[in-house]
Amino acid sequence: MGDCLTYPALPLAAASGLAWFAENWWVILQVACGLGFVIFVHELGHFLVAKACGVKCEKLFLGFDIGGMKLASVKWGETEYGIGALPLGGYVKMLGQEDNPAAAAGEAQRARLSGDLPAEPVAGPHPTWDPRSYPAQSVPKRMAIISAGVIMNVLFAVLMASLAFKLGVREMTCTLSSVRTGGAAWRAGLRTGDEIVAIGGRSDPIFNDLRHGVTVGSVRDGIDFTVRRPADGSTRTVLLKPDTDLGAPTIGVTSPYSLTLPTDLSRGLVGAAARAVPAFEPGDTIRRIDDVPVASYAELLAALSAKPAAPVTLQVARPTKGPDGSVSGTATLSVELPAQPRLVTGLAMTPLPVKAVQDGSPAAAAGISPGDRLTAVDGEPIGDPVTLDDRLRERVGQPVTLTLTDAAGSQRTVTLTPRPVTWRDDETAGIGSPLSIPSLGIALPIDALVAAVAADSPAGRAGVKAGDRIVRAVVTEPGEEPDPKSGIDISDQEPNWPVVTALLQHLPSGASLTLTVESPAGGERRTITLSPEAAADGFVVDRGLVFEPMYRTVRASSFGDALRRGLRKTKEDLSMVYGFLGKLTRQEISPRLLGGPIEIAKQAGRSANEGFGRLLLFLTMLSANLAVVNFLPIPVLDGGHMVFLTWELLRGKPPSEHVVGVLSYLGLGLILVLMFFVFGLDLGLIPRR
């Protein structure tokens, strides 16, 4: 009785090399033991109930011993226990039970007592079968054996989640650090610092609750979010309808940031943060900006937004260490942080029609709608759309006249007042993300058709002309060669120029930009490499600062509380897997989000790095995933066996061997196709977009 694993995947970079294994052997050991234990528990359920029913179990294996290949095995009593060479699941081999359709007939013959037999076994014990064989058992007993693996996985999930909450688990809070430009949260007017205090009927959620709510919630009807804005103390409930353009339902929010720099700064800081004096160190926590105390990431952005072009003095709390290397106290020091000019190429691209308008924004109040095309500001061409928001911020509180053309070609003008902006919109959250103009509240896609080129600029000196089209961009860090595989394609279907310009601001000094340029005459293509230069006006507000996520520790107050939390977590994980599969069948989620054994191991490794409690919760989710997937009504999986047994219970006899054989071949083929598909995704042979 074999089982396999697939998993809803999340992107994760993996290190390699012997040095990495030497440094992370403890994490690797935890992951290997954890994944093996999840599969072992499932098979142990089949094994124990089969033994209780008197069935002879000939093998209990982790992994598959294809062709007899196995890493280890031992014979104890009548059962061989072992680890197969193919680590894709596990199985229990019972007398008379065979998942392989090609071997099913031979196994059935081996489990029969004589050659004078009926064509098929009948329900209940039958004298022509070995009484200790699986087919000789009654239908209820066989149902119990089949369902035992799933039941054990669910029980295991509850116990692991309960233990995790008893030990304590670090969970990210539901405070937003940024929102994806044009996404569902952005359209509803959510911004940096907003706190989600309820999701549907769930109050005081953590960030994983947000992910769960979006996964199982309705894309068509939307999900209610109650949002508190600390800046003004307001609370409101908004209905967000998740977007699916990235392959999975999302509302477009990023996890919360603290004010503490990461403990791993091996790659260094970029931009102004890299030029701070004295240099930042891992674990530094920002307390003040000039004379303004800051207690949150939103307050930090607001303080920096007030002085984008000026250097600021940060008051930083730095951990001090004793002779043994442990943290012994905190030192306070001042760090001078310069301004960070925006890196530009001299290219002014062509704006496309407005993609989205933010609720409660000046644009919404002025009647601007998606599909309107912005053609002029105060009667003048808009120039480089990337710098438009910087120019509008200088007009905060002053009326500005915009010229618009609607989809029918009719032109009109509207007058509005740009608003002050103290938050951050994320333009790199997904391929095709539009440009944010937060002072107006519009999401503006940018076509890579060159509208103008500054003469004395990197692009001008490289010979780029108005009318040229940029079709591909490769951003390269200093000292590296351009990697064509890492490039970003740009087209009117994927207007990724805002993504490219945003990425430039988060790279070390000396980064280069390689562009594939298509000329308007004949469509000839050429490749040029630019070194972006600092703009005279226009600055990066966050100045290259990066921070640790903001966590809170969730710990059960008693054993009963831990059990309640474990039950709730298991229920949520089961519903999330069913929700994922439901959206997959309705084509609301891309199948390219699936992950196989390699992706599962990567995710488990990341969870182990975050602490033992986090690893236990990952195993809870994985155990729930295994329970659901293996109970799907697919022949050769537990769910397929249960369908056959239900037929036998209702009809009084099993389906014919021919029908079972054909369906089993189809089920096996489906499983093999799925395994090849997820391996292709894991190995990068199949793109995830």
Is residue 493 domain-shared with residue 526, that is, in the same domain?
A: yes
Asked whether residue 404 carries a pLDDT value surpassing 70, the answer given is: yes
Identify residue 231 by its one-letter amino acid code. Answer: A
Please tell me whether residue 606 adopts helix, strand or coil conformation: helix
**9 and 156 both lie in a single domain:** yes
Q: In sequence order, which residues have a C-beta less than 8 Å from that of residue 135 and are 6 or more positions away?
A: 96, 97, 108, 111, 121, 126, 129, 142
The DSSP output letter for 277 is B
Are residues 81 and 194 part of one domain? no
Asked if 146 and 42 sit in the same domain, the reply is: yes
- Clarify whether residues 151 and 45 are in a common domain: yes
Least confident of 290-299, 336-345, 670-679: 670-679
83 and 201 together in one domain: no
Query: Is there a contact between 194 and 236 (Cβ–Cβ < 8 Å)?
Result: no
| Model pTM score | 0.79
The pLDDT of residue 4 is 41
What distances in angstroms separate CA 653 from CA 98, 113, 122, 646, 657, one per listed residue? Answer: 19, 20, 5, 10, 11
Range of the domain at 178: 171-257
pLDDT of 71 reads 83
Provide the pLDDT for residue 602.
72
What does the alpha-carbon distance between residue 611 and residue 616 come to, in Å, rounded to a whole number?
9
pLDDT category at 568 given cuts 50, 70, 90 is: very high
Residue 8 inside a domain? The answer is: yes
CA distance 56 to 122: 19
Mean pLDDT (whole number) for 433-456: 92
Which has the minimum average pLDDT: 179-193, 400-414, 497-511, 575-589? 575-589
Look at residue 127 in the predicted model and tell me its pLDDT. Answer: 53
3-state secondary structure 33-70: HHHHHHHHHHHHHHHHHHHHCCCCEEEEEEEECHHHCE
Task: Say which CATH number the domain at 202 has.
Answer: 2.30.42.10
- For residues 602-612, average pLDDT: 71
- What confidence score (pLDDT) does residue 1 get? 55
Residue-level pLDDT at 115? 47
Is-contact 243 183, C-beta < 8 A?
yes
Check residues 26 and 187 and name the one with the higher pLDDT. Answer: 187
- Does position 132 have pLDDT exceeding 60, yes or no? yes
Q: Which pLDDT score, from 0 to 100, does residue 10 have? A: 34
- Which residue's entry shows tokens 């809170």? 552
pLDDT at site 124 = 47
Q: Using CA atoms, how far apart are residues 592 and 687, in angstroms rounded to an integer?
A: 8
From residue 640, how far is each of 2, 97, 242, 644, 660 by CA, in Å?
A: 12, 14, 33, 7, 10
Please state the rounded mean pLDDT for residues 322-329. 77
Task: Report if residue 294 sits inside a domain.
Answer: no
Residue 86 lies in a domain: yes
User: With pLDDT > 90 as the criterion, what percentage of the chain qualifies?
Assistant: 41
Three-state DSSP class for residue 617: helix
What three-state secondary structure class fits 675? Answer: helix
Q: Is 287 exposed, middle or buried (0-12, 13-18, 19+ CB in 10 A)?
A: middle
What is the pLDDT confidence band of residue 317, given thresholds at 50, 70 and 90? very high
Domain final residue, candidates 257, 292, 308:
257
Top pLDDT among 672 and 399 is at: 399
- In angstroms, the CA 8 to CA 6 distance is 7
User: Quick check: is 391 in a domain?
Assistant: yes
Task: Determine the pLDDT at residue 349.
Answer: 92
Q: Which of the four pLDDT bands, split at 50, 70 and 90, describes residue 604?
A: low
Residue 636 has pLDDT above 70, yes or no: yes
| Residue keyed to tokens 């279907």 | 493
pLDDT tier at 211 (50, 70, 90 boundaries)? confident
What average pLDDT does the segment 363-380 reach? 94
Residue 595, pLDDT > 90, answer: no
Q: Measure Cα distances from 164 to 297, 367, 619 in Å.
A: 29, 51, 10
257, 285, 303 - which closes a domain: 257
99, 50: one domain? yes
Question: Is the bond preceding residue 278 a cis peptide, omega within 30 degrees?
Answer: yes
pLDDT confidence bin for 272, thresholds 50/70/90: very high
Task: Report which DSSP code applies to 177.
Answer: S
DSSP 657: H
29 and 149: one domain?
yes
Tens of pLDDT, residues 57-71: 988 888 777 777 888
The residue among 254 and 65 whose pLDDT is bigger is 254
Q: Which two tokens stand for residue 285?
A: 């926590």
- Residue 632: alpha-carbon gap to chain centroid: 24
Token reading at 566:
């474990």
Are residue 38 and residue 175 in the same domain, yes or no? Answer: no
Q: If you ran DSSP here, which 8-state letter would residue 654 be given?
A: P
Q: 674 CB contacts (<8 Å, ≥6 apart)?
A: 4, 6
Identify the pLDDT of residue 88. 64
- Residue written as tokens 């805002």? 498
- Strands 223-229 and 312-321 come out as unpaired
Cα of 168 vs its chain's centroid, Å: 23
Average pLDDT over residues 588-608: 72
Task: Quote the CA–CA distance of 449 and 490 in Å, as a whole number.
Answer: 10
| Number of folded domains that form the chain | 3
Whether residues 123 and 176 share a domain: the answer is: no
Whether 17 shows a pLDDT value over 60: the answer reads no
Q: How confident is the model at residue 113 (pLDDT cuts 50, 70, 90)?
A: low
**How far apart (Å, rounded) are the C-alpha atoms in residues 668 and 634?**
9
Q: Among 531, 547, 573, where does a domain finish?
A: 531
What percent of the chain is helix, strand and coil (3-state, nearest 5)?
35, 25, 40
471 and 525 in contact (C-beta within 8 Å)?
A: yes
The distance in angstroms from the start CA to the end CA of the chain is 35
**Same domain (yes/no): 163, 206:** no
Can you give the pLDDT at residue 302? 93
Identify which of 256, 247, 246, 289 has the alpha carbon closest to the alpha carbon of residue 190: 256
In-domain check, residue 277: no
How would you label 110-140 residue by residue, b for 16+ Cβ within 10 Å and e otherwise? ebbeeeeeeeebebeebebbbebbbbbbebe
Residue 239 lies in a domain: yes
**Highest mean pLDDT pick, 72-81, 97-106, 142-151, 503-512:** 142-151
Q: What is the pLDDT, as a whole number, of residue 333? A: 94
Is the CB of residue 147 less than 8 Å from the CB of residue 139? no
Same domain, yes or no, for 156 and 180? Answer: no
Report yes or no on 269 lying in a domain: no
What mean pLDDT value characterizes the chain? 85
* HSE, side-chain direction, 13 A CA sphere, residue 423: 25
Q: Which two tokens stand for residue 619?
A: 């195993």
- With vertex at residue 58, the alpha carbon angle to CA 57 and CA 62, rounded to the nearest 5 degrees, is 95
Query: Residue 551 domain-assigned?
Result: no
- Please check the confidence at residue 159 and state whether its pLDDT lies above 70: yes
Q: Report which residue type is found at 69.
A: M
Write the DSSP assignment of 374-406 as a string of letters: EEEETTEE---GGGHHHHHHTTTTS-EEEEEE-
Residue 418 in this model has a pLDDT that exceeds 70: yes
> Given this model, what pLDDT does residue 273 score?
94
